[in-house]
């Protein structure tokens, strides 16, 4: 996991009867990483042990173990492999302490964070490194695993390319931490948080797209786009600040990559690249394409980071939450003139709003106002509500809307809302429930994607997001699961998300494994395994695999693979 070794433990331990714990090679917010040896297979490994303060928490310990097991299903050349997980019970004083551990591939190389200590890297290197990262993300997201803590410290540069470490393990921290500052303390930095992570909102694969964009930015500019005196200060900027393009910080950074960075760092997840594969394609195209003009970059910045009411409201809500941390200090620099004009514009908007409010609600007249206040008619019978509103001299329009929660014929809401002051003769819309027209979800699991789509269409439902997933026991295109169970009643016209089998499984590089262990693993994945001996190669251990006919990665279910051993 690191180039540097550490002190050898005075009392070497054996975990699960086979993993010998050796010197400390790294330490994070919640784990310690040791070099180790798998005595059964005779190979060097890395062993990640959860620190005692987290191991005492049963809920956290279980989350940590489950996420590690999820990550262990992945086998990809750009992802550090998780071989095994377990727990060890040890005496600490008079108490028994249960400590989870993860057995991982030992990666020799240099952390990307160490390279960045010397400043930005060459643009072609930056693109090459991020290509490897995005390739790993694309594979992991297909397997249903989100990294959540992608940063240069979790990216290793090896002789064979890039290796991404610690997939999925950060989820336990995200669900355990109650504040941004607490999560940053454990994970190590808020520099690579996505806006939705900073706001404590649900996340999906697009949060990894944002973090990969931050890594690309740092590779090009030599530093992350946002920096502050505290985790909350940085989180504030992720939510509210517009990043400066890398080429304006580092003149060696190609302007063609600025648009890619801006897209990856969009505050709204829907404005980012939809997946890692698209991100990589756009990155490679921009690296060799024509550079956009300043006007084009400015237009893209406005489109991605310009104000819109919904985002403004979300930002206000988020900042109120973040501001509970008194260490929040704004550190992002900007041109003084821009701030002056921004302040003038802000004051102008306030003055204009006050004038409109005064003119509308407080007429310059000695006569008492005759404004009416919209009464609370929510959940009332719509006919009674309309009669009451008309009695206040309001013009009423009625609109129907399906609702699962409000009974048919009852008022869902009004526009303007209850409590709003209106002038007599003003128009108001009453939204009335037309009830809930429910339809039963047909049987989808086990059907082909085509048949499932036809069944949904016949039921008056649609196909939502289709997520591909590897499964050794399912043919390509078979539905593995759905967002609604068969027989469940859902709103007519709504969409049902599907998880569909890819028809592939992920195999590892079994070089160095014993033949018995490799055959057992491959047959569990549904592959047909053959063995062969090579009498021309030098035998180091005739019981271990020296070569395999299929490369590590995704292969078709039921494929045949030949494992070779040396017998020379």
Contacts of residue 252, Cβ cutoff 8 Å, sequence gap at least 6: 120, 122, 123
Q: Which residue has the tokens 């550190």?
A: 331
Cα–Cα distance measured from residue 150 to residue 215, given in angstroms and rounded to the nearest whole number: 8
What distance lies between CA 212 and its chain's CA centroid?
A: 10
Among candidate residues 64, 57, 55, the one with its CA nearest the CA of residue 90: 55
| DSSP conformation class of 79 | B
136, 171, 327 from 104: Cα distances, Å = 16, 18, 37
Cα–Cα distance measured from residue 374 to residue 416, given in angstroms and rounded to the nearest whole number: 8
For residue 37, list its beta bridge partners.
20, 44
Using N-to-C axis directions, what is the helix angle for 206-221 and 276-288, rounded to 10°? 30
Cα–Cα distance measured from residue 66 to residue 57, given in angstroms and rounded to the nearest whole number: 14
HEC readout, 370-430: CCEECCCCCCCEHHHHHHHHHCCCCEEEEEEECCCCCCCCEEEEEECCCCCEECCCCEEEE
Cα–Cα distance measured from residue 54 to residue 65, given in angstroms and rounded to the nearest whole number: 12
Which segments within 486-537 are labelled E, that is strand?
489-491, 495-501, 504-507, 528-534
Cα–Cα distance measured from residue 217 to residue 53, given in angstroms and rounded to the nearest whole number: 35
The residues annotated with a catalytic role in the active site are: 149
What distance lies between CA 398 and its chain's CA centroid?
A: 42
């Amino acid at each position: 996991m690191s180039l540097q070794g550490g002190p050898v433990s005075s009392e070497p331990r054996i975990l699960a009867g086979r993993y010998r714990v050796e010197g400390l090679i790294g330490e994070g917010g919640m784990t310690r990483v040791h070099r180790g040896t798998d005595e059964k297979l005779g190979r060097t490994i890395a062993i990640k042990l959860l620190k005692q303060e987290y191991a005492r928490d049963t809920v956290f310990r279980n989350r940590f173990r489950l996420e590690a097991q999820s990550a262990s299903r992945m086998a990809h050349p750009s992802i550090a492999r998780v071989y095994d997980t377990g727990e060890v019970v040890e005496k600490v004083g008079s108490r028994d302490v249960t400590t989870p551990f993860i057995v991982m591939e030992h990666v020799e190389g240099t952390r990307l964070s160490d390279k960045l200590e010397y400043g930005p890297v060459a643009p072609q290197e930056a693109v090459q490194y991020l290509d490897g990262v995005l390739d790993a993300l694309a594979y992991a997201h297909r397997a249903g695993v989100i990294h959540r803590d992608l940063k240069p410290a979790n990216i290793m540069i090896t002789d064979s390319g890039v290796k991404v470490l610690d997939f999925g393990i950060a989820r336990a921290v995200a669900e355990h931490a109650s504040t941004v500052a607490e999560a940053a303390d454990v994970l190590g930095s808020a520099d690579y948080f996505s806006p939705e992570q900073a706001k404590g909102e649900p996340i999906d694969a697009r949060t990894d797209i944002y973090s990969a964009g931050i890594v690309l930015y740092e590779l090009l500019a030599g530093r992350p786009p946002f920096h502050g005196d505290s985790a909350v200060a940085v989180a504030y900027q992720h939510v509210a600040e517009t990043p400066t393009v890398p080429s304006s910080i580092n003149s060696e950074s190609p302007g063609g990559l600025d648009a890619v960075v801006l897209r990856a760092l969009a505050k709204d997840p829907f404005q980012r690249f939809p997946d890692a594969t698209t991100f990589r394609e756009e990155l490679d195209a921009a690296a060799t394409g024509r550079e956009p003009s300043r006007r084009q970059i400015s237009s893209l910045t406005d489109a991605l980071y310009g104000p819109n009411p919904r985002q403004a409201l979300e930002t206000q809500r988020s900042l109120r939450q973040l501001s509970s941390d008194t260490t929040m200090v704004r550190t992002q620099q900007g041109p003084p003139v821009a701030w002056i004009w921004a302040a003038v514009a802000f004051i102008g908007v306030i003055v204009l709003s006050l004038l409109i409010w005064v003119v509308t609600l407080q007429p310059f007249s000695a006569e008492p106002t005759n404004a009416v206040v919209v009464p609370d008619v929510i959940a009332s019978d719509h006919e009674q509500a309309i009669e009451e509103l008309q009695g206040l001299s309001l013009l009423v329009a009625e609109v129907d809307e399906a609702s699962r929660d409000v009974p048919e014929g009852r008022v869902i809401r009004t526009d303007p809302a209850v409590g709003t002051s209106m002038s007599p003769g003003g128009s108001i819309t009453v939204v009335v429930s037309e009830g809930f027209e429910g339809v039963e979800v047909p049987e989808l699991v086990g059907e082909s994607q085509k048949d499932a789509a036809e069944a949904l269409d016949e039921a008056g439902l649609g196909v939502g997001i289709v997520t591909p997933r590897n499964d050794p026991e399912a043919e390509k295109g078979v539905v593995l699961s759905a967002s609604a169970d068969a027989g469940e009643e859902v709103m007519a016209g709504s969409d049902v998300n599907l998880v569909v089998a890819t028809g592939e499984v992920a195999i590892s590089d079994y070089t160095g494994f014993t033949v018995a262990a490799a055959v057992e693993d491959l047959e569990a994945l549904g592959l047909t395994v053959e063995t062969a001996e090579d009498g021309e190669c030098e035998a180091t251990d005739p019981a271990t695999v020296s070569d395999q006919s299929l490369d590590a990665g995704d292969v078709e279910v039921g494929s045949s693979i030949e494992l070779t051993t040396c017998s020379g």
